[in-house]
Amino acid sequence: MIKLEILKMAFRKLKVKGASSDPSLPQYPDALIDLEAMMAELDATPSISTGYNSTGFNAELDEESGLTIEDLNTIACGLAVRIGGDYGIEVPFLVGKGYSTGVRKMFIRGAILPIVKYTNRTPRGLGNTSNNVYSNSRSNLYYNGSKTSSNADHYSVDSFINLPVDFTAWVLDEVLTNVVWVSENSKIKIENQTFTDKVATAKLTFTNAGVYKIQVTGTTATKQKVFDFDFAIHDKLEG
């Protein structure tokens, strides 16, 4: 898809009149610069690689973006969040949520995940026929007897990730003043916590098998937002 079409998608999400039909809207050149800047920041994030054709200030509206279909909506939502304030437009909640969710999926997709052949210590066929975790390791309701969200991300013991949490859609025209990371029962080790105006990052090391929650609380001068993340941690198995 060419870059102009991504800009049109973003403006449609902001309900800008004529965004679908008029290829010469005066907003497009400025929005193209914003798109290039946003993609440079995104591709600099650890574990995220979009394949975007970044050409900086030499970008043209009719050049190919290089994005895959699965990332187009996320990028259009992100651009809408980024430029909405420039036009005095309040970004719809679902647009901001779409961007945050999409970026998190990009990160998980790009992370190098240790391979776990079985989701329980004993594989099916060796007397382990009644567990709920065997049937679908990515969407199970239980792991080792603990209830978890179907959106839990799965890792093995002794693996780690650098997790970015994007507060952009919530912060809007404010900036983060503090971010607090809390691990349920201290079962996930949290290190190297940093944050910018909009994004917080920390290294998570998974040292215990089970299902655990990470809670990330972002604070600005006027409000506070809490994000919860579920992780299903498996014993590292061979064979």
How do residues 171-206 score in pLDDT, each as one tens digit?
A: 777 889 999 999 988 889 999 999 888 888 899 998
Q: Which CATH number fits domain 114-234: 3.40.50.620, 3.30.390.30, 2.60.40.10, 3.40.390.10?
A: 2.60.40.10
CA distance linking residue 26 with residue 85, whole number of Å: 16
Tokens at 27, concatenated? 């907003």
DSSP result, 78-93: HHHHHHHGGGT-PPPH
pLDDT for 129 beyond 70: no
Domain ranges in the chain are 3-105, 114-234
CA quadruple 65, 70, 74, 77: dihedral positive or negative? positive
Give tens-digit pLDDT for 10-68: 998 988 766 655 555 667 888 999 999 999 888 887 678 888 999 988 999 999 999 98
DSSP single-letter state for residue 198? S
Lowest mean pLDDT among 84-93, 128-137, 192-201, 210-219: 128-137
| Fold of the domain built from segment(s) 3-105 | Hypothetical protein yqbg (1.10.3230)
The per-residue pLDDT for range 68-118, each reduced to its tens digit, is 888 999 999 999 998 988 878 888 888 988 888 888 888 777 654 444 444
Helix pair 69-84, 27-43: axis angle to 10 deg: 120
Query: What CA–CA distances, in Å, run from 85 to 34, 82, 189?
Result: 12, 7, 37
The answer to whether residue 136 scores a pLDDT higher than 70 is: no
Longest dimension (CA), the chain: 68
